[in-house]
Amino acid sequence: MNENELTALRDENKKLKSELAEVNAVTNQYLQNVAHQLTAPLGAIKWSIEGLRDERVPLSRKNNLLRSIYSQATILVHLIKNFALMSNLEADYELGQFREKPEPIDVMKLAINLANDFQPQGLEAGLKVIVDSDSFHKIFANQRLWIEKNLVAQAMSNILENAVKYADLKSTINVSVRADSKIVGIMIDSKGIPISDQEKAHIFERRFRGTAARQKVAAGTGIGLYLASRVMQFHGGSVAVETQGRLSRFILIFPRDRLK
């Protein structure tokens, strides 16, 4: 090996070391972020329970604490489901072994249940989550959507959770459905932090979080939309995002033939 080759190898080694250090730093920061997200709701639940047991806290205020416990528990369940789902979906995707077992689902009922789950969190910011039942009746009538219920529920939850987190105070989040000859789209409309065109291009990437999103809510896993998009891919569909200023619309798009 001559001197030049040796120098090139040393440089390459140096470069790889610095790349590894960078990856480690990003992973550490990510883990810290995840730990933050798991610990924060647990801490709030613990203190709320202590508050409920404390006789000095007036009875009239204790209802607030119960509501907080419920909303924090919902956040935790949702977060943990996302992590479990991510490792399962990744493994299935890598091995190409995803076996779909679709069931006929009443999507309006699913949307209403999910909207109700997020109401307590929304209430803290004066938000309303409304399901446009007329649009669901019109599209579905007596038909059902054939989907993997738990996966789609998680995809829809992830989008609703973002809407609740990033919406303007006292605004309304609207869930509705539209269909044409090729697709069925479940739309989640909200008004809140704007998403730039540049961010739109990366929004479904794993661990991506927009600048404004990070400024409004410091902690986040950056996996919610990535998972939603992966879930929809497994259904032969996709997630689309349309924005206009502070308005954003996320659409879960299913192939029309799932409506039977």
Partner 1 sequence: MHTILFVDDEPVSTEALRLLLEAKGFDCVSLTDMSAAMDFLRQWEVSVLVSDIMMPSGDAFPEIDSSETGLHFMLMVREQFPEVRVICLSVIGDQTKILKLKRQGALYLRKGETTLDTAARLIESKATGNTNY
Q: Which residues contact partner 1 (rule: CB under 8 A)?
A: 29, 32-33, 35-36, 39-44, 46-48, 50-51, 54, 56-58, 61, 64-65, 68, 71-72, 124, 214-219
Distance in angstroms (rounded) separating the CA atoms of residues 73 and 67: 10
Output the six-digit token pair for 106.
């009443």
Which residues lie across from 247 on neighbouring strands? 191, 244
Q: Which of 201, 199, 173 has its CA nearest to residue 187?
A: 173
Q: Which of 241, 258, 237, 259 has its CA nearest to residue 250?
A: 241
Instruction: Report the nearest approach of partner 1 to the CB of residue 67 (Å).
Output: 9
Q: Which is nearer to partner 1, 36 or 138 (CB)?
A: 36
Instruction: Report the nearest approach of partner 1 to the CB of residue 35 (Å).
Output: 7
Q: Which is nearer to partner 1, 220 or 237 (CB)?
A: 220
Instruction: Report the nearest approach of partner 1 to the CB of residue 117 (Å).
Output: 16
Distance in angstroms (rounded) separating the CA atoms of residues 182 and 239: 15
Q: Which is nearer to partner 1, 18 or 64 (CB)?
A: 64
Contact 179, 190 (CB under 8 A): no
Q: Which is nearer to partner 1, 17 or 61 (CB)?
A: 61
Instruction: Report the nearest approach of partner 1 to the CB of residue 40 (Å).
Output: 5
